[in-house]
Structure 1
Amino acid sequence: MSRNLLPVTALLMGTLFLFLGNGLHGLLLPVRGTAEGYSNEVLGLLGTTWAAGFVLGCFFAPKLVMRVGHVRAFSAFVSMIAIIALLTGIIVDSTSWVVLRIITGFCTAGTSMIIESWLNERATNESRGMIFSFYISITLIGVVAGQMLIGVFDTSTTILFMICGIVYCLAIMPTTMSKAVTPQPLNSITLDLKGLYKNSPVSFIGILLIGIANGAYGTLGAVFGARAGLDAATIAIMLSITIFAGALMQFPAGKMSDRTDRRYVLAGLSALAATAALILVAFQPGDPLLMIIFVGVYGAAANALYPIAVAHANDFAKADEFVRVSGGLLLLFGIGTIIGPTLGGPVMTMAGPYSLFAVTAISHLLITAYAIYRSRLRAAIPVEERENVPTVQSGATPMSTPEILTLDPRATPLPEEDDVEPSAGTTEEAKA
């Protein structure tokens, strides 16, 4: 194991600090914004513009990387994210924050694409699954650790913004000091919506609705907690619980979907998520413990949906279409993530903080209804003819870039080193 991970240790260390900063800054802005009296619409736009920047980054960041190289581009992207994190602490202004989040989303897509392509370059067919799993674990640990810092320091001061800047600077250092060769040029991204829908209507509609629900909760969950009277530390715990509950649920949910029609599993999990959300809307528990329990149930069901929907789409795709289909679904999820906070903010303003879960419940009920409807129109692929949902996806966040798919064990096997033609993209040394 150590032999496989040693070549990418510096990159994984940088990744840990990067996602620690992402987790901290992503939660700090809505918490501080709520304290500053920003409207729900503005706080929702923080997630909308970030997601829009991220999707744009998936399309255009590769061109910048090709011009200046992976190391320089990575350093520039992270430096820009650090500058913006510090600026949001200096300029406490809602309009500025919304605009700056576009740039943060764009740069985050760029850094993720570089990390994921770099890891793939260093992986072999034997180590790819392990490296992929280790990478996902690091991103989870980083995000949760960053969120938990919210409860340690006073959010009304600039100290957490300064910590963000320090953490992001630490993320640059390991890669700039590494001697590892840089990977080949990033893949070009295409989005064939018509082809995606034709391949699997349930996955197409389901992923879009999952993006709407997850985008609404991911952006406005902290706002909900603050409006419901929770302190910053409890809000951090609540959001972290949803991540861990989703990670734990993915293994049993994936195994269940391997043995039956995946659409039934999608329908059942969506119904469970909708039930937990509707209980929160109906009873509005004031006890923080009860609130965390129901939100945990919601997170367990809601965060297990994405990999099953992707697996269902790949059941109907050809063997060599995995990256194209899954990459398109990632971008479709990003589009849903743009829509979710835009809807959630005004709804919370009109009907109160708990109405956020009405938005997610409607999305999940639509998934349930459509999955059951489509199961009557199209037969499922026989169990023996489909790929299992790999356990290394446990805890994986779908808000990544299509580059991560090359690390997935279901992707086309990597060629042996003797079969690879040398190229200019693999000879540049990544030195400081």
Structure 2
Amino acid sequence: MIKDILPIGALLLGSAFLLFGGGIHGLILPVRGTIEGFDSLSLGLLGTGWALGYVAGCILTAGLVARVGHIRAFGAMCAIAAVTVLCNAIIVTPWAWIALRGITGFCFAATAMIVESWLSERTDPGNRGRIFGIYTMVNLGASTAGQLMLTMGDPAGFVFFALGAIFYCLALVPTALSSVTTPTPLVSVRLNLRALWRNSPVAVFAVFWVGLSNASFGTLAAVYAQNVGLVLAAVALFTSIPILAGAIMQIPVGLLSDKMDRRRVLLGVAVLALIADAAFLSFAPEARIANFALAALLGGSIFAMYPVIVAHANDHAEPGTAIQISGGLLLIFGIGSIVGPLVAGWAMGSIGSRALYGVTALAHLMIIAYTLWRMRQRDGVATAHKSTFQPINAGRTSNLQTAELSQSGPAPSASPEKAP
């Protein structure tokens, strides 16, 4: 294991610094915005701005890197991210923060694509899945640790913005000083959404609603937690527990989806998410333990859906189309991520904090209804024809290069005859 990690140590360290800073930055904005009196719609638009920037970064980064190279592009994106978090501290207005959040989203897409293309070339099919798992866990752990940093100070001050900028700058040091050979230009993928729909209607339909649900919760969970009276330390835990639960849930969910119709697994996970939504709406919990338990159930469910959807779509893929399928699903996920925080922010401002879970409940109901209908139209894929399930950290650290990395290796058996 150590011999696999040492050649990519600088890349993992740079990514850890970046995600640690991102964890601080991502949580301080809704927390500080609430303190400053920003309304829920404005706070929701922070998530919409991020998603717009992130999708743009996924599309445009390949051309940027082709012009200036990997190291220069990575360094520039880290520096710009540091500038944006400092500007957040200086210009405390909703519309400035929304625009700055979009810039940060672009930077994160670009830096992740650069690091992941490096990883793709520094690994081989024999250890690629293991390295991808390590990379995902490093990002997950660093992001969670960054969020928990907010328990150690006053969010009304300047210090957390400065810490975010410091770690963004530290992120460029390992790669700038590394002797690792830079990779070939990034993959530029031609996406065909119509073919993707023909390949798997369930995957296309569900991934939009998963993007809407996950981005709504990911952006506004801290706002909900503050509005129900949780102290700052509890707010940080409330936003961190769902991410960790989602990582843990991918193991049993992946095992189940490899043994039975993945649509049944998606259906079951969506039902669990809907139960959590309904509990938040019905009981309006105020106690920390109750909120933490429901957040774990909701996070464990919603953050486990995306990899099931990707695996299900690839069960029906023609050989050599995995990156196009994963890239197309990520684009649709991004569109849902743009819409979700906007709708949820408006609903929370108009109805109240619990409206967040009305929006996520609607998304999960749509997934359940459409999946049930499609299961009556087509049979599931035989186990022998399934692709390999790959844990995927969907959302803020996923992009086309993540998809390429996770799908690399021996081509799976494919069964393209039936659309699920």
TM-score by length of 1: 0.93
Q: How many Å apart are 1:233 and its aligned residue?
A: 1.1
Please name the residue that 2:101 is paired with.
Answer: 101
Deviations 1:101-155 (A, max 9, x none): 1111111111011000011111112221121111001100111000001111100
Deviation by residue 1:182-205 (Cα, 9 ceiling, x = unmatched): 000011133322111111000000
Alignment length, in residue pairs?
Answer: 410
- Corresponding position of 1:397: 394
- In the TM superposition, residue 413 of structure 1 has moved relative to its aligned partner by 4.4
Runs of 4 or more consecutive aligned structure 1 residues displaced over 4 Å after TM superposition: none
1:345 is matched with 345
Q: Distance in 2 between matches of 1:388 and 1:407?
A: 13
Cα distance in structure 2, aligned partners of 1:219 and 1:398 = 12
1:423 maps to none
Deviation track 1:360-384 (CA, whole Å, cap 9, x = no partner) reads: 0110011011111100001111112
Q: Which residue of 2 aligns with 1:180?
A: 180
CA distance in 2, matches of 1:192, 1:319: 16
| Aligned sequence identity (%) | 42
Shift of residue 4, structure 1, vs aligned partner? 1.9
The amino acid of 2:311's aligned partner reads A
Paired with 1:49 and 1:234, the residues of 2 have a C-alpha distance of 26
Tell me which amino acid in the other structure corresponds to 2:361: A
- Give SS of 2:82's match: helix
Other structure's SS at 1:243 match? helix
* Distance in 1 of aligned mates of 2:71 and 2:388: 36
1:411 match: 408
Paired position in structure 2 for 1:79: 79
Q: Which residue of 2 aligns with 1:419?
A: none
**Amino acid in structure 1 at the alignment position of 2:29:** L
Query: For the residues of structure 2 that align with 1:199 and 1:213, how far apart are their CA atoms?
Result: 23
Q: 1:90, 1:117 → 2: CA distance?
A: 35
- The CA distance in 1 between the partners of 2:145 and 2:394, in whole Å, is 16
SS at match of 1:304: helix
Task: Tell me the residue number matched to 1:149.
Answer: 149
Q: Distance in 2 between matches of 1:199 and 1:65?
A: 31
Corresponding residue for 1:329? 329
| Equivalent residues of 1:8, 1:119 under 8 A apart | yes
- Tell me, in whole angstroms, the C-alpha distance in 2 between the residues paired with 1:121 and 1:385: 28
Alignment correspondent of 1:31: 31
- Supply the distance in 1 between the matched residues of 2:209 and 2:304 (Cα, whole angstroms): 14
SS at match of 1:359: helix
Shift of 1:339: 0.6
CA–CA distance in structure 2, aligned partners of residues 279 and 413 of structure 1: 43
Q: Distance in 2 between matches of 1:181 and 1:77?
A: 20
Cα separation, 2, equivalents of 1:148 and 1:135: 20
Q: Specify the alignment match of 1:247 in structure 2.
A: 247
Cα distance in 2, alignment partners of residues 371 and 377 from structure 1: 10
The answer to whether the 8 Å contact 2:44/2:342 transfers is yes
Give 1:421's aligned residue.
none
Q: Distance in 2 between matches of 1:167 and 1:411?
A: 31
Aligned partners of 1:243 and 1:22: how far apart in 2? 14
**Do 1:277 and 1:357's aligned partners in 2 also have CA atoms closer than 8 Å?**
yes
SS of 2:377's partner is coil
Using the size of structure 2 for normalisation, the TM-score is: 0.95
Maintained 8 Å contact 2:192/2:328: yes
- In structure 2, what is the Cα distance between the partners aligned to 1:14 and 1:336? 29
Q: Partner of 1:320: helix, strand, or coil?
A: coil
Asked if residue 361 in structure 1 is aligned to residue 358 in structure 2, the reply is: no
Residue range with higher mean Cα deviation, 42-51 or 320-329: 320-329
User: Runs of 5+ in structure 1 lacking a partner?
Assistant: 415-432
Question: Where do 1:6-405 residues align within 5 Å?
Answer: 6-390=6-390, 393=391, 396-399=393-396, 400-405=398-403
Question: Are the equivalent residues in 1 in contact too, given 2:128–2:409 (CA < 8 A)?
Answer: no
SS, match of residue 332 in structure 2: helix
Aligned partner of residue 101 in structure 2, secondary structure: helix
Question: 1: distance between equivalents of 2:196 and 2:126?
Answer: 30
Say whether the 8 Å CA contact 1:58–1:189 is kept in structure 2.
no
| Residues 21-57 of structure 1: CA deviation (Å, up to 9, x unaligned) | 1111011100000110001110001010110010011
1:155 maps to amino acid: P
